[in-house]
Every structure is written in C-alpha cells, then in structure tokens.
Amino acid sequence: MLKLTTAIFLSLSAAAFAKLPNIVIIYADDLGYGDLSAYNQKAAYKTPRLDQMAAEGIRFTDAHSPSTICSPSRYGLFSGQQIYRSTGRGGGAFEGPGGPSYLKPGTMTLGGMLQKKGYRTAVFGKWHVGLTWLDKDGKRLGGGFDNSLLIDYEKSTPLIDGPNERGFDESFITPNCPTTDPLYVYIENGMVPKPANHRYNPENTPNPGGKWRWDNDAGWVAPDYQFVGVDELFYAKTKNFITQHRETRPEQPFFAVLSTQIAHAPVLPAEKFNGATEAGPRGDFVYQLDHIVGRTIDLMKELNIDDETIILFNADNGAEFMHVAWMREDHNHDASGGYRGMKRDAWEGGHRVPFIVRWPGRIPKGQVSDQMTNTTDIFATLASIVGFELPDEAATDSFDMLPAMIGTQDQAQSIRPHLLTQSFRGEFQIRQGDWKYLDHQGSGGNPYHSRLLSKYALEEKEPDAPGQLYNLKTDPGETTNLYYKEAEKRKELQALLEKLKKSGRSAPKKRKPIGMTNIPKVD
C-alpha cells in the first residue's frame, strides 16, 4: 500500500486537503435491526444520540451486512467485496492465532484508497480478518486456542498482514473478538507490547444479570488486558488519535475506524453504565454504545470540525441468537426488529442492520431511505466523495450510495439492481427489488430444532424445496416459500446469481466519482 511520505505530504497543499472531509466509521458488533430506538419504536430502551444522528442525517432501512458473521463482513467493509472473492467460498470467524488475513496482498483496502488521497488513517478495536502468527521455527500457526502457546512474538512481529500493512497508518486492535475469542492481546502498530502469558479464567469476570457473561471463553491473555469496558479503551484511543492529529496536522484529513465490541457476547458494560436502562445488561450495553457515538459527535464539535466530518454508523450482522431470545423473554425487546432470523441466519434478521450517516452541511437532515444497500458500498461511496476513480479490479461488490445520501437520487429508482449476501456457511442469498432468493434450505445458520430456538421455528411450506424464494413486499417475515409457485422468478434469480459469481464482480465497471465540487451544501 502506498505510504504518504514526508516529501509527498509537504508537497500537498492545504487547499487540496481542505476540500476533503474527515471520515469516522463506527462499526458495531452483533447489533440487530431492532436494537436502536430510531429503528424500533417498541425498543425496551432509548438510544438518544443515535436517534439524534439519524435526525441530523440519513437513516437507511434496507441496509445489509455482507455476511451473517463478523470476519467475512469485516472483509467486506475493508475491501468492498464479498468474502468469496478472497476465499472462493464462504469464510469463518477466526479464533486463536488464526490467519492469514482475508485481505490478501495487493487487495485495495478502504484505508489504502484514502491514503492515496492524502488521508492519515487509523483503526481501533476489533480487527478479526485474520493475522499471520509464527512459531519458533518460523512456521505459520493455524487457529485454535492451544496454538497461542506456540507463538514466537519476536518472529511474528511486526505483523506482515496487520492493519499497518493493509492501509492504516496507526492501529490499536485485538486480533479476534475482544472478550470472546482468545488470543487476548493488544496489537499496536503491528507489535504486541505485552504477549499473552497466563491462562484466563472467565469465572473471575463479572456476570451481570447472572447469565450475560455467556461466550466469554477461557484462553491465553496478556497481563494488562481488559474485559469489562474494553470499548471505553477503544474510544479513548480513537479520541487521542483525532485530537493529536488535529493538533499536529490540522490541514490533513483523517480517517478513523472505531470497531466496537458492543453488542457481541459476552455482555460486559463499563461499570458506569450498569443500570443505565431498565432493559438489563444488554440494554445497558447498547446504551453505552449510544453514549460512545454521542461523545464522538461532541468531539467533532469541540474541535470545530463538525461540518467537515462525515460519520458513518453500521453493524457487521444481526444480533446473537442467545441475545435475541433472552431480550424477547426478559424485556419484550426484539433485537431483530420484527424480521425472521438473527446472527448466522440468511433470513433478514441475520443481515439487515442499522446504517446511519451524518455530515452536517452536505447531507440533508431527517432523511429516511429505503435504498437497498450493503456495507460493501461504503467503499465506493467514500471513493465518490473524495474523488477517487476506482479501478475495475477493486471493490468489485461496491456501489456508490452518495446520490441517496445527498438527496439527488430518484427515490423510486434503486441504485443497486441486485444485492448479494452470504450466511454462516458461505451460502448465497440474492435480492432483486422485492424478491429474495436463498440458494439453500433452512436458516443457513442457527439450529432451529434446539430447545432455545424451537419456539421461533416456522412451518416450512415447501420442505422439499432445495432453495427459498420470498417476496419481501408482501411477506417481509419470509413465511411463505414461493420456490415452486413462482418458478420463473426463481429461475431468473438463480441465473443472475450464477452470472454474478462467475463474472468476478457485482458492481458496475468504470465507476465515476462525484467529487466534492459536485456535492451541494445544505442548511
């Protein structure tokens, strides 16, 4: 990836920098469509700062994660592509010293693209797209918790495929889910300041509400590692980067990704948020996330760069199935927002997620858009804003959503002619307008025969059908499989899916950026 050298930096004029906005992405974890009060009027708690962000910008109601689990979706955010572009199929979530990175050498990343436009780039929090770790003999280690003991940190660092080698100037990350999947270490700019040196016992971690520590795995941990309130640390690192950058390089735009643990299991809200809502520990957890978003907005105002900064809020997939069940049972709160399914599932609850964008002075206030969009589209949208012409081989599943954001798109006209998603096992789903085809049987993820989920299982109207076809306009709950009754439409979508898989791209070629000079200012 191109590094911005001192000579290049000095040669770029302040006027050129001033034309480009600062960019912040807040990327939530396992946050369902119904987890924000802006999306769910019946939510068991309020998320006032995210509601404010939506009121001051645009809220998308038909936004989707590329996958129904985290690692493939994060690949989609950073690459603008579906995971099968990297693996040829699906992609699992990394555990232990799992890798190498899904972001292969030569892949244009979101950070790398913005570096080319003069940005200073940074990422803080959960990384989870794979890293290469070596043992004492220089052999690459596979995943699994036990392999953590075999890492030779001197040979492994600086990491050859960490964020600093994939388009980010600064980074402070965890390799996997911060409080779920060991290896429990911090990685700062490709180095591990304190290696994992002892066995972690989850019994020593608080368990709010008696069950919400679920999925806090034992494993090897560094001596200074935090489990409770880890997102406060990630926010502090993000704030420090932005503040120092503004002090030392005020003429240069910045790009920061704050990748949170919230609302992934286990539920461990920072102490000051315990009891902040009447919706139990997970309600408190999401409220903490809302507070972090609010502090980020307030920071932009304190630094007098609010009008110069675009903030994007998105999530990597739907809510965890245990969380969905418990919140329904304990607090009458539906994290899936009325949709069928949850994390891992191919039904809407697994991948329909919140997506809110705020940019004062450029994005008109109070917009609600039903444009069909994917997290992969963030790549082409930001490229369009900064005036970067994407090569055809980059971000091949990314569409420019900027016209919808700035209010120039005909609401009746879909920017996307189709949309791909992949479920837990890498199976495909494709949308075209109101029609959705699932190229597999069942959920694509969770076991609905289990005791906990059996109550949410629906009768399959076509149990022998090898796939599923739904009309989301007339059947948003995906209750009636039209695989046989609408055979012509199903065959049409099957053919389109195969065409897109073989073509190597779903986005158009020769994408032209809009650029700052063509983005109108608004009151």
pLDDT in tens, 364-376: 999 999 999 999 9
Peptide bond into 395 cis (omega under 30): no
Rounded Cα distance between 137 and 126, Å, is 28
Give the C-alpha distances (Å, rounded to integers) separating 383 from 112, 162, 165, 169, 391: 11, 23, 20, 18, 11
Closest residue by Cα to residue 172 from 229, 86, 236, 113: 236
- In whole angstroms, give the CA distance from residue 302 to residue 488: 57
CATH code, 314:
3.40.720.10
Residue of higher predicted confidence among 5 and 519? 519
7 pLDDT more than 50: no
39 within a domain of the structure (yes/no): yes
pTM of the model: 0.95
Assess whether pLDDT exceeds 60 at residue 313: yes
Predicted local confidence at residue 146, as pLDDT: 84
Flag whether pLDDT at 8 surpasses 60: no
Read off the pLDDT of each residue in 357-385 and give the average, rounded to a whole number: 98
Work out the average pLDDT over 215-228: 94
Question: How far, in Å, CA of 103 to CA of 148, rounded?
Answer: 22
Give me the residues paired with residue 219 across strands: 200
**In-domain check, residue 414:** no
Checking if the pLDDT of 430 tops 60, the result is yes
- Percentage of residues of the chain with pLDDT beyond 70: 97
Distance of CA 273 to the CA centre of its chain: 24
Residue 205 within any structural domain of the chain: yes
Kindly state the average pLDDT of the residues 101-126: 98
Mean of the pLDDT values across residues 248-276? 97
Residue 5 pLDDT more than 70? no
Q: Facing residues of 468 across strands?
A: 438
* pLDDT at residue 103 greater than cutoff 90: yes
Is 348 within the bounds of a domain?
Answer: no
Q: What integer pLDDT is reported at residue 144 of this predicted model?
A: 80
Per-residue pLDDT, 368: 98
| Residue 469 belongs to a domain | no
Asked, for residue 405, whether it belongs to a domain, the answer is no
Structural domain including 148 reads 19-334
Q: Per-residue pLDDT for 448 more than 50?
A: yes
Query: For residues 209 and 415, which has the higher predicted lDDT (pLDDT)?
Result: 415
Please check whether residue 11 lies inside any domain of the structure. Answer: no
Overall number of domains in the chain: 1
Mean pLDDT of 503-515: 96
Cα atoms in the Cβ-side hemisphere of radius 13 Å centred on 506: 30
3-state secondary structure 383-422: HHHHCCCCCCCCCCCCCCCHHHHHCCCCCCCCCCCCEEEE
Over residues 223-232, the mean pLDDT reads: 95
Q: Identify the band that residue 6 occupies on the pLDDT scale cut at 50, 70 and 90.
A: very low
What are 20-32's pLDDT values in tens digits? Answer: 999 999 999 999 9
pLDDT of residue 16: 52
Contact 470, 448 (CB under 8 A): no
**Judging by beta carbons within 10 Å of its beta carbon (0-12, 13-18, 19+), is residue 265 exposed, middle or buried?**
buried
Is 432 part of a structural domain of the chain? Answer: no
How is 192-230 classified by DSSP, letter by letter? -SS---EEE-GGGS--GGGTTTTT---EEE-TT---TTH
Mean pLDDT of the region 488-501 = 97
**Interval 82-87 mean pLDDT:** 96
